[in-house]
């Protein structure tokens, strides 16, 4: 099987300071990978390099494009990379405000991404928006409201709808449940898990919440000081951690 994403030796430096270094992995269709580590461990830098939002200093990020198979997105032309960002990729930000247009209606936020891939029929776009609002459990009568009138959990669900409406194959998520109430988190996790299954999505989820990766991720990568120190099946890494830092991380979680 061809991997959907092939990451080869990615490094990114901020001046002389290392963001992340020597990262390698393959992600297969339908796989969900979690990246955990403390603040400053390089996980967000890595995610941004993979999603084309930062240019790595070295290495290749090959994506299995529909037309031409594996292509290096680091060296690809900007318009082509942006097209991927609108179609096959989705990026769910921690802060929904970074992923939404706050002064455009909920329906408009979802429809806009469709128009970016050349949907023009107003009725069809509105119906797609309604369908997606329903799937993320936002009631239809809120379609004309702006996200500023939404709660944090609703904004996050709207961001997910906006991202998934074009049927992407790979979703990047940066702390998707960060800053939300635990009850809202549970609902969002349940929603994400269902969507990942139904759409056979591949996803890379950056988080510092080990409970989130246990529920969502098949595989786990643990980062510290910019480097990957441990990888494996999620439950194996969490239940039988090998590296000293992972052991510390797992044993530091407060039991509820």
Partner 1 sequence: MIRTENLAKSFTLHNQGSAEIRVISGASFTVAPGECVALVGASGAGKSTLMRMIYGNYLTASGRILVGGVDVASAAPREIILLRRRTLGYVSQFLRVVPRVPTLDVVAEPLLVNDTPHDDALAQAKTLLERLKIPQQLWSLSPTTFSGGEQQRVNIARGFVYPYPALLLDEPTASLDPANRATVLDLITEAKARDAAIIGIFHDDAVRRAVCDRELDVTLFTPEIVA
Of 15-23, 102-110, 113-121, 232-240, the window that binds partner 1 (rule: CB under 8 A) is: 232-240
Mapping DSSP to helix (H, G, I), strand (E, B) and coil, where does residue 6 land? strand
Among 203, 155, 152, 159, residue whose Cα is nearest residue 179: 152
CB closer to partner 1 out of 128 and 188: 188
Nearest approach, Cβ of 28 to partner 1 (angstroms)? Answer: 5
Decide whether 170 or 189 has the Cβ nearer to partner 1. Answer: 189
Whichever of 118 and 198 has its CB closer to partner 1, that residue is: 198
State which H helix or E strand residue 256 sits in.
none
Q: Which of 146, 147, 142, 158 is nearest to 191 (CA)?
A: 158
State how far Cα 109 lies from the chain centre: 18
CB of 193 to partner 1, least distance (A): 6
Torsion of CA 91, 94, 100, 106, to 10 degrees: 100
Smallest gap from Cβ 231 to partner 1, in A, equals 8
User: How open is the CA angle 6-220-217, to the nearest 5 degrees?
Assistant: 95
Which is closer to partner 1, CB of 116 or CB of 186?
186
Touching partner 1, residues 157-186 (CB under 8 A): 186
Contacts of 40 (CB under 8 A, 6+ apart): none
Smallest gap from Cβ 182 to partner 1, in A, equals 9
Among 89, 218, 223, 224, binds partner 1 (CB under 8 A): 218
Residues 181-200 binding partner 1 (CB under 8 A) are 186-187, 189-190, 193, 197
Q: Does residue 140 bind partner 1 (CB under 8 A)?
A: no
The size of the interface with partner 1 (CB under 8 A), counted in residues, is 24
Q: Is 243 in the site for partner 1 (CB under 8 A)?
A: yes
Question: Which string of x and - marks every residue 30-49 that binds partner 1 (by CB under 8 A)?
Answer: -x------------------
Helical (H) or strand (E) element with 23: strand 17-27
Nearest partner of 21 among 54, 3, 45, 48, judged by Cα: 45
Q: CB-wise, 45 or 246, nearer to partner 1?
A: 246
Q: Map residue 27 onto helix, strand or coil.
A: strand
Phi (first) and psi of residue 117, to 5 degrees: -110, 30
Question: What token pair was written down for 207?
Answer: 């988080």
- Residues in contact with partner 1 by CB under 8 A are 28, 31, 186-187, 189-190, 193, 197, 214-215, 218-219, 232-233, 235-236, 239-240, 242-244, 247-248, 251
């Amino acid at each position: 099987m061809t991997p959907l994403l092939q990451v080869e030796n990615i490094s990114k430096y901020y001046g002389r300071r290392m963001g992340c270094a020597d990262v390698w992995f393959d992600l297969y269709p339908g796989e969900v990978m979690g990246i955990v580590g403390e603040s400053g461990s390089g996980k967000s830098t890595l995610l941004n390099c993979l999603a084309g939002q930062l240019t790595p200093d070295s290495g290749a990020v090959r994506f299995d494009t529909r037309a031409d198979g594996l292509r290096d997105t680091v060296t690809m032309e900007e318009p082509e990379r942006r097209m991927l960002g609108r179609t096959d990729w989705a990026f769910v930000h921690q802060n929904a405000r970074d992923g939404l247009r706050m002064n455009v209606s909920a329906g408009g936020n979802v429809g806009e991404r469709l128009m970016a891939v050349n949907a023009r029929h107003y009725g069809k776009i509105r119906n797609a928006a309604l369908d997606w609002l329903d799937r993320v459990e936002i009631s239809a009568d809120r379609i004309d409201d702006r996200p500023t009138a939404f709660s944090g959990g609703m904004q996050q669900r709207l961001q997910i709808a906006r991202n998934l409406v074009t049927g992407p194959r790979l979703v990047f998520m940066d702390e998707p449940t960060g800053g939300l109430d635990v009850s809202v988190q549970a609902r969002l996790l349940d929603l994400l898990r269902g969507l990942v299954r139904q759409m056979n999505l591949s996803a890379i989820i950056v988080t510092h919440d080990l409970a989130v990766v246990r529920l969502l991720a098949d595989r786990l990568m643990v980062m510290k000081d910019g480097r990957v120190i441990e990888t494996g099946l999620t439950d194996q890494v969490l239940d039988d951690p090998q590296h000293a830092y992972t052991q510390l991380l797992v044993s530091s979680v407060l039991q509820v």
